[in-house]
Chain A
Amino acid sequence: EPEVTQTPSHQVTQMGQEVILRCVPISNHLYFYWYRQILGQKVEFLVSFYNNEISEKSEIFDDQFSVERPDGSNFTLKIRSTKLEDSAMYFCASAAALYGYTFGSGTRLTVV
């Protein structure tokens, strides 16, 4: 069964450092998403990406965040200068038009 692949599974970074979280969505999907889950809390939408541009972003997705689909297969989330409160599980997801919404297994980001 097709999968969304996320790397790394766990990343520890120092406050103020840049991190890039990587995702390989399902190949025939058109919609791509990043979500965040702070430990013990619900999953929150960060950003959606369609047709090579951001289609919607949440209030969380400020200027410190950016997304790219650099080569037609990878989908990345960059946090320019990490803060302690960025520590969370980050999920990538991809979707076909109406069905097939699939999550990756997540990257656990720890900012120290």
Chain B
Amino acid sequence: AQKITQTQPGMFVQEKEAVTLDCTYDTSDPSYGLFWYKQPSSGEMIFLIYQGSYDQQNATEGRYSLNFQKARKSANLVISASQLGDSAMYFCAMRELRGGATNKLIFGTGTLLAVQP
């Protein structure tokens, strides 16, 4: 069965420092996608970054990058130059891309990031 594991319930980082949020996954499917979402205290789910299993390069979106290590089944999120507004819950999620009409997301339990001034 598919599974996403986020082992860090909470993290602290100093403003302007980089931080890595860990995510490991388990799937037997060769085709999958990995997502990171940010959930601020207001509750909405904000898409940050996506990595496909066949992508040759690690995904980057502004200050966000995904350290994708396929053999280790890890997809860690790196936030560079942390800002106070980065304080939020961060969820890693996986979507299998096999043929079919579901392609649901499986979420991890999240990491609560606190950026300190």
Contact of A91 among B45, B100, B103 (CB under 8 A): B45
Are B108 and A42 in contact, CB atoms less than 8 angstroms apart? yes
| Complex CA–CA separation, A51 to B100 (angstroms) | 12
What are the residues of chain B within 8 A of A35 when measuring CB–CB?
A: 105
Contact of B101 among A48, A98, A101 (CB under 8 A): A48
Are A95 and B103 in contact, CB atoms less than 8 angstroms apart? yes
A31 is an interface residue with CB less than 8 A from chain B:
yes
In this complex, the interface size class of chain B, counting residues with CB under 8 Å from chain A, is 20 to 34
| Complex CA–CA separation, A55 to B37 (angstroms) | 24
B56 is an interface residue with CB less than 8 A from chain A:
no
User: A107: shortest Cβ distance to chain B, in Å?
Assistant: 10
| Complex CA–CA separation, A31 to B93 (angstroms) | 17
Task: Provide the B17-38 mask, 1 if CB < 8 A to any CB of A, else 0.
Answer: 0000000000000000101010
| Complex CA–CA separation, A56 to B91 (angstroms) | 22
In this complex, the interface size class of chain A, counting residues with CB under 8 Å from chain B, is 20 to 34
| Complex CA–CA separation, A82 to B37 (angstroms) | 29
Are A103 and B101 in contact, CB atoms less than 8 angstroms apart? no
| Complex CA–CA separation, A32 to B107 (angstroms) | 17
Q: Given known contacts A31-B103, A50-B101, is B44 in contact with A105 (CB within 8 Å)?
A: yes
What are the residues of chain B within 8 A of A55 when measuring CB–CB?
A: 100-102
Residues in chain A within 8 A of chain B (CB atoms): 31, 33, 35, 41-45, 48, 50-51, 55-56, 89, 91, 93, 95, 98-99, 101-106, 108
A-B contact pairs, 27 of them (CB 8 A): A33-B104, A33-B105, A35-B105, A41-B109, A42-B108, A42-B109, A43-B45, A43-B91, A43-B93, A43-B107, A45-B104, A45-B105, A45-B106, A48-B102, A50-B102, A56-B104, A89-B43, A95-B103, A99-B50, A101-B35, A102-B47, A103-B37, A103-B44, A103-B45, A105-B43, A105-B44, A106-B44
Residues in chain B within 8 A of chain A (CB atoms): 33, 35, 37, 43-45, 47, 50, 91, 93, 95, 97, 100-110
Knowing that A101-B105, A103-B44 touch, tell me 9 more A-B residue pairs with CB under 8 angstroms: A42-B108, A45-B105, A48-B103, A55-B100, A56-B101, A56-B102, A89-B43, A105-B43, A105-B44
